[in-house]
Amino acid sequence: MLRDYIKEIFEPTLLFGVAAGLAGLAAASYYYDGAVIWLGAFAIIGAVAAQMAVNLIDDYTDYKTGLDMETSKTRFSGGSPLVAGNRVSAAAVLRLAVAALFVAGAIGVYTLLVAQAVAILILMLAAIGGIAAVFYARYLTHVPFLAEPFVAACFALIGIGVFLVASGSSADMLYVALACVPCGIQVGVAALINAMPDRVPDRKYGRRSWAVMLNDNRLSGFLYLGFEAAGYALLIFGMYARILPGTFAIMLAFVPVFQYIAMSTMDYKGPKSYEKVMGINAAAAMLYMFMLSASFMLAHIMA
């Protein structure tokens, strides 16, 4: 029973939050010799706690509305089998979400007090995180075409927020965004890919993600490519303008993988056959995000 609660709390998707935060921390270390690494790492913990709260509230909401009882369960989609299977209590999940929000809030207040030079910006980012935690599953997913871009924006802001906390400066924030936005895009497209098997029940229960609204495999595949192309455009522009180090060229190695995912999405046939594609996408997205951080660190070592 305890193992089930641990699995419910520490979902593998929390690695997205860690990776997004590390991108901001690596950027702070690259641009500022005096970056406060431990404070940035503390901010990552706060961001992951907020993401944990979003995940738990999402699972609770989908269980209470009945959505999770109708989805096709795979390892990467279909909601929480633990709550839907009554292996963990929905009420306990909600209490855990509140506790995670409290931890995230406490860390947020502390970073505001320490990083006073950028307190206003951090407060704005914290407010967006709070809105995401409380309103995402119940309301924001019901706004047409908002879900995936909002997810991408939130994870991009995690990286930017960690950069602000660690560096204590907003001077290079737009430069860092050139790396953090592509990082966030990876989570946005992961949400798109993972929503493919759940389009029918999602539509029934009022969710209006891109996958639901397009309701077309080919268009979803092209949208995936469009998001990825936008991320690469930012990285290439950053290198061309000498804002980002040339080590970011290593990110081009992911292009064949993303092409495979897009083609497989266009040829979508069902949840079980698509599970492999979702797994490859999740692994590629996480590795891509960690490689963004590695690109900053490699450039710092080579400098």
- Identify the residue with better confidence: 148 or 172: 148
- Report DSSP state, residue 169: -
pLDDT digit string (tens) for 43-94? 999 999 989 998 999 888 888 888 877 777 777 776 777 777 778 888 888 9
Question: Given this model, what pLDDT does residue 135 score?
Answer: 78
Closest CA to 253 of 284, 224, 218, 293: 284
Kindly list the distances between the CA atom of residue 167 and the CA atoms of 9, 179, 276, 297, in Å, as whole numbers in the listed order. 30, 16, 40, 15
pLDDT at site 105: 86
**Least confident range of 57-71, 97-111, 247-261:** 57-71
Separation of alpha carbons 148 and 229, rounded Å = 16
DSSP 26-54: HHHHHH-TT--HHHHHHHHHHHHHHHHHH
Token duo for residue 251: 């990110």
**Mean pLDDT for the stretch of residues 276-294:** 95
Contact (CB, 8 A) for 265 and 217: yes
Please report, rounded to a whole number, the percentage of residues in the chain having pLDDT higher than 70. 95
- Residue 285 confidence (pLDDT): 95
Residues 220-245 pLDDT 10s: 999 999 999 999 999 999 999 999 99
Distance CA(93)–CA(208), nearest Å, equals 25
pLDDT at 68: 76
For the segment 165-200, what is each residue's pLDDT rounded down to a tens digit? 898 887 888 889 999 999 999 999 999 999 999 998
Measured between alpha carbons, how far is 272 from 62 in angstroms, rounded to an integer? 21
pLDDT of amino acid 122: 67
Q: b vs e for 31-57, b when ≥16 Cβ sit within 10 Å of the residue's Cβ?
A: bbeebbeebbebbbebbbbbbbbbbbb
pLDDT at 116 over 80: no
Q: Is the pLDDT of residue 19 over 70?
A: yes
- If you average pLDDT over residues 268-292, what whole number do you get? 93
Q: Are 97 and 19 in contact (CB under 8 A)?
A: no
Window from 70-79, 100-109, 119-128 with minimum mean pLDDT: 119-128
| Residues in the chain, total | 303
Q: Taking residues 122-151, what's their average pLDDT?
A: 80
H or E segment to which residue 272 belongs? helix 271-302
Mean pLDDT over 121-147 rounds to 78
How many helices and strands in the chain, by DSSP H and E? 13, 0
Task: Tell me the per-residue pLDDT of 21-38, one tens digit each, with 9 for 90 and over.
Answer: 999 999 999 998 888 899
The strand ranges marked E within 60-117 are: none
- Cα–Cα dist 5/104, whole Å: 19
Instruction: Give 119's pLDDT tier (boundaries 50, 70, 90).
Output: low
Neighbours of 255 (CB within 10 A): 12
Considering the chain, what is the average pLDDT of its residues?
88
Predicted local distance difference test score (pLDDT) of residue 120: 65
